[in-house]
Structure 1
Amino acid sequence: MLKIGLTGGIGSGKSEVSRRLSDRGAVVIDADKIAREVVEPGTPGLARVVAVFGDEVLRADGALDRERLGSIVFSDSGKLAALNGIVHPLVGARVAELQSQAAEDDEDAIVVYDVPLLVENKLAPMYDAVIVVDAADEVRLARLTGVRGMSEQDARARIAAQASREDRLGVADIVIRNEGSLEELDARVDEVWTRLSALRVNRAP
């Protein structure tokens, strides 16, 4: 099994790359998606969050009010640590389960871990190779304001809160430049998939 870390700053197009790798046969494990799943209504994770933070973090329908919870934890490092102490072990257990299932289904699987904070959390050594989706900050800013409708101030703040472009490129084994059309991105992903397939063959016993 080949373990690939995939990351990229907000607005880089990482999700587009993730989808295209999945279409080509990769098993994609999305850390953000799992983090949402482990605190869905009825889960032990949500029950633990409510036990620590109270019913005020629930919406009327019983789902987690992420905005409310965010406003509580991101201004208090102790509360953020408490939340991470609940969520991170659950995410880790689910990732391990999915990884085991992928290996069971296909021992030669290419497993892509979609991890937005790979660089910030120093996770690069966990993977056989790291792919960084890269675009200039101004390109990302234009996407965030034009496509996502963010204000320029908010978009710049979100970019600044993440690892720098230089730091991400510093851990990259493969860089996917994404400043052009989707057709150009398709061609680049094809090249990367060919490279990953060759790497998988070379690693086979």
Structure 2
Amino acid sequence: MVFSPAMILIGLTGGVATGKSTVALMFRRLGAMVIDADRLARQVVTPGTPAWRKIRKAFGTGILNPDGTVDRCALGAVVFRDRAKRRMLENIVHPFVAREQRRLTKAATTRNPKVVVIYDVPLLFETGIDRRVDYTIVVTAAQSTQLMRLRQRNGLNRADALRRIQSQMPLDRKARRANWILDGSDSPQQLHTAVRALYKSLKRLA
């Protein structure tokens, strides 16, 4: 999905708690335009929006907060235990997210035709979004690192943390499909050095 002859769209993904958000922040600080699919997903389900109405109809009012906003923890508890319901949620939200991503990418390209756009998408390969980008980056980490981070960051028990990890495509499969791989287990200094070198390469491609 290239909006100008020079601009490139990079799909950034990884497993849960591999360090993908840290990598995205590093790219942003280096000058890339970063579009966060999770942030867009929160925006498109604000109360009263078409996606919000569809979610309320599909999952009931039990997944809403008192103010009408989607209770992400309650909804996550439902969809991470049921693959069919998770797919149902994805089918509701993803078209609205894709529309907003295209709008933001087009706007960024208008401002700077040679911009490097990083599209940060947890389910890049699972949802086929990799077919809409020019290149892909996968951030990996050992499963033990993912479990530790999820338990510390999200307060999950081991079973729930493992369920979150297993709800996504295995990291080794993602890595085989990637154009570039970054190790999210590296020290911040090592990771920043790798990201900086990769960004220089991407700028040459743009």
TM-score by length of 2: 0.85
* Aligned partners of 1:119 and 1:167 also within 8 Å: no
Q: How does 1:107-146 map to 2 (within 5 A)?
A: 107-146=113-152
Q: Does 1:169 align with 2:197?
A: no
Q: Does 1:29 align with 2:35?
A: yes
Following TM superposition, by how much is the alpha carbon of 1:37 offset from its aligned partner in structure 2, in angstroms? 0.6
* Aligned partners of 1:103 and 1:109 also within 8 Å: yes
Select the structure of larger CA radius of gyration.
Answer: 1
- CA, structure 1 residues 165+70, in 2 after alignment: closer, same or farther (shift >3 Å)? closer
* Aligned partners of 1:124 and 1:171 also within 8 Å: no
- CA, structure 1 residues 157+76, in 2 after alignment: closer, same or farther (shift >3 Å)? closer
- CA, structure 1 residues 72+179, in 2 after alignment: closer, same or farther (shift >3 Å)? closer
* Aligned partners of 2:80 and 2:164 also within 8 Å: no
* Aligned partners of 2:34 and 2:118 also within 8 Å: yes
Distance, in Å, in 2 between the alignment partners of 1:146 and 1:81 is 27
Following TM superposition, by how much is the alpha carbon of 1:81 offset from its aligned partner in structure 2, in angstroms? 5.0
Q: How many residues align?
A: 200
Identical aligned residues as a percent: 38
In structure 2, runs of 5+ residues without a counterpart are 1-6
Following TM superposition, by how much is the alpha carbon of 1:48 offset from its aligned partner in structure 2, in angstroms? 3.5
Distance, in Å, in 1 between the alignment partners of 2:144 and 2:199 is 28
Question: What whole-Å deviation, never above 9, does each CA across 1:14-42 have from its counterpart, x for those lacking one?
Answer: 00000110111111111111111101124
Q: Does 1:48 align with 2:73?
A: no
> Larger deviation: 80-89 or 173-182?
80-89
Following TM superposition, by how much is the alpha carbon of 1:130 offset from its aligned partner in structure 2, in angstroms? 0.6
Distance, in Å, in 2 between the alignment partners of 1:83 and 1:148 is 21
Partner of 1:7 in structure 2? 13
- CA, structure 1 residues 161+47, in 2 after alignment: closer, same or farther (shift >3 Å)? closer
Question: What whole-Å deviation, never above 9, does each CA across 1:133-173 have from its counterpart, x for those lacking one?
Answer: 11122222232234443322222222222211210111111
- CA, structure 1 residues 146+171, in 2 after alignment: closer, same or farther (shift >3 Å)? same
Give the secondary structure class of the aligned counterpart of 1:130.
strand
Partner of 2:4 in structure 1? none
2:64 corresponds to which of 49, 58, 65: 58
Root-mean-square deviation (CA, aligned residues, Å) is 2.2
Structure 1 counterpart of 2:151, which letter? T
Partner of 2:95 in structure 1? 89
- CA, structure 1 residues 142+70, in 2 after alignment: closer, same or farther (shift >3 Å)? closer
Distance, in Å, in 1 between the alignment partners of 2:88 and 2:181 is 35
Distance, in Å, in 1 between the alignment partners of 2:149 and 2:81 is 28
Q: Does 1:190 align with 2:196?
A: yes
